[in-house]
Amino acid sequence: MSILRDLSSAVGHTPLLRLRHASELTGCEVLGKAEFLNPGGSIKDRTALGLILDAERRGLLRPGATIVEGTAGNTGIGLALIGASRGYRSVIFMPETQSREKIDALRIAGAEVRLVPAVPFKDPRHYVHIARAYSESLNEQTPGSAWFGNQFDNTANRDWHEATTALEIWEQTEGKVDGFVCSAGTGGTLAGVGRALKARKPAVQIALSDPTGSALANYVNCGELVAESSSISEGIGSSRITANFQDAPIDLAWSIPDQESVPLLHQLLREEGWCVGGSSGVNLAGAVRLAQALGPGHAIVTILADAGTRYQAKLFNPPFLREKGIPVPEWLDQSFGG
């Protein structure tokens, strides 16, 4: 019999999906890693597991302790679910601008959710700084009672993707992967997968698909952290270089507008049945660009990070999309009585 012993055992080993429209458009095999099939619903379950296992191994996360993290949502969900299954409670700080669906999912997962203002990282009220300070305050009262996950700068994040996500991609493609592309929030997935694939096949092309409003693409291309415009995407993009993103082996980088990425995820849902979130749309747009850059006959892998149902009020809301200047497909308009 094949029986999983606990929640942690159910994380990872996600299928690789052929994305038909993107493949036919480019003449490449465009493949999406179905990370929305993880038990907590996103690729951040992998990050959460990697961080927890590393902290347990190093004696930083003790039995009965409180997990504290600052997150846009998905990492918090993963930490709360995996943490609960291993006997920890979780306190999650997140920007109040994040989707109601993710906030509710965190609370359902058992986390204590504390919403804070959405401010730049340099502001001491930023959710990462507040989470760190709260963890430190708990440990001052009772040493060892709390652990701060620090997903952005804890390189156990990148190392776990290097050891697991990349290995799965390599084995699923039988080493025939020619390019990998995804967006970066913490940078753990892009850097970890990129490092592992480059080690096995130096010619593989690693690309960053960055939403407008993020400074990372401009940093890769021009060496400056400069951002323009904005994006409705959540959980990706950055105005700083994290420890996980640093030294990522990136060959190409693009800034992707919502007007390019959101129609692709609408099309993916309508024509192929996969309902994915905004970051997956940015990733898919990057996969199409990378496939076009390499030319027909190549295998391109990207990440389908989470489900679109976590962003229903934005991605599938015709009035909201029109307000942002994003095309609304006819079928969506009809579905909502437009």
How many other CB atoms are there within 10 angstroms of residue 248's CB atom?
A: 24
CB 192 within 8 A of CB 170: no
- DSSP secondary structure of 196-240: HHHHH-TT-EEEEEEETT-SHHHHHHHSS----S--S--S---SS
Residue 198 is a catalytic residue: no
The rounded Cα 6 to chain-centroid distance in angstroms is 23
Distance separating alpha carbons of residues 54 and 225, to the nearest angstrom: 31
- Edge to edge, what strands does the sheet with 205-211 contain? 16-18, 29-34, 299-304, 179-182, 205-211, 252-256
The rounded Cα 27 to chain-centroid distance in angstroms is 27
Nearest partner of 40 among 9, 69, 74, judged by Cα: 74
Pick the catalytic residue: 44, 102, 198, 314? 44
Tokens, residue 307: 């489900």
Tokens, residue 162: 């290097």
Catalytic residues: 44
